[in-house]
Amino acid sequence: MFKRLTTDYFNWILIIGVILLIFEIAFFFGGSIIPALFSALFMYIGWKNFHKLWGKIVFWIALVSMVFSVLNLLAVRFLIIAAIIIFIINYSKSKSEATQFDPILPDAEKNHESILKVNPLFDHKLFDDQITEDVAYQWKDVNIHGAFGDRIIDLSNTVLPNDTAVISIRHVIGNIEIYVPYEVEVSIHHSSVFGKAHILGKHHLKLMNKSIHYQTANYDTAYPRVKIITSLFSGDIEVKRI
């Protein structure tokens, strides 16, 4: 970030920072400098006695106090704001000066590939529930996120590919239910801040900011199989055979 900063600009920033520091000392009787010095002194005392409990307490309290005292200095606030402004300016310049390189390919490689647009099984919905159809449907990998509502996926009404099917769900608040046929191998990696998990007979009644990972015994060698990756802020997940 500072490689693009000229020496004159850097010198002006330092000069203004020193002026603000002198101004704070002269007109605010030291401002936050005196509390910072006292905090540094107590940090030293705590560090010398860090092997004792009271020494650890004094050290960490003094450290927190010194950090807040330093951040209250006008000069430090100015330097933080200046650094943010410089970062924004340099980032905008780097985006505007970005160069696009087009590779030169032989004529045979310039032909455009034929690609097809595939409609997803689910669309992203911040609100409302999403449930697979009760009739037979064509399988398409699931990759969705949402905010509120339940997500229910029944794999018994579709034919999974002779490969690895993928279900990826990132959700805020709601429940996730996934029904898997008995002949399908399963791998599930679930993370949750608050909630419960019932996965193929394994029960976690309290998930507090945890991740769990299960897979069936033949997942690495047998097909068809489904890989499930889910994350919830608050809600329950259930994966069971059907």
Closest CA to 161 of 223, 216, 240: 223
Within a domain: 147: yes
Indicate whether 80 and 146 sit together in one domain: no
Do 53 and 135 belong to one domain? no
Contact 206, 236 (CB under 8 A): no
Q: Are residues 141 and 191 in the same domain?
A: yes
User: Which sign does the torsion angle of CA 80, 83, 89, 95 carry?
Assistant: negative
How many domains is the chain partitioned into structurally? Answer: 2
- Residue pair 188/168 in contact (Cβ under 8 Å)? The answer is no
pLDDT tens digits, one per residue of 139-182? 889 999 888 888 999 999 898 988 899 999 999 888 999 999 99
Residues of the chain with pLDDT under 50: none
Is 171 within 8 Å of 230 (Cβ atoms)?
yes
pLDDT at 148: 85
Global confidence as pTM: 0.55
One domain, residues 89 and 176: no
Quick one: pLDDT at residue 28? 67
Angle at 53 between CA 51 and CA 59, to 5 degrees: 80
Q: Do residue 221 and residue 137 come from a single domain?
A: yes
Q: What is the pLDDT of residue 192?
A: 92
Last residue of a domain, one of 73, 96, 119: 96
202 and 214 Cβ atoms separated by less than 8 Å: yes
Picking from 75, 96, 117, the residue at the C-terminal end of a domain is 96
18 lies in some domain:
yes
Which of 45, 76, 96 finishes a domain?
A: 96
In a domain, 31, yes or no: yes
Q: How far apart are CA 137 and CA 135, in angstroms?
A: 6
Residues 139 and 53 in one domain: no
Q: Identify the helix (H) or strand (E) that includes residue 93.
A: helix 74-96
Strand partners, 195: 207
Residues 78 and 158 in one domain: no
Q: Are residues 86 and 186 in the same domain?
A: no
Domain around 44: 2-96
Same domain, 79 and 175: no
Query: 11 with 80, same domain?
Result: yes
136 & 235 share domain: yes
- The whole-number pLDDT of residue 165 equals 93
If asked whether residues 165 and 237 sit together in one domain, one would say: yes
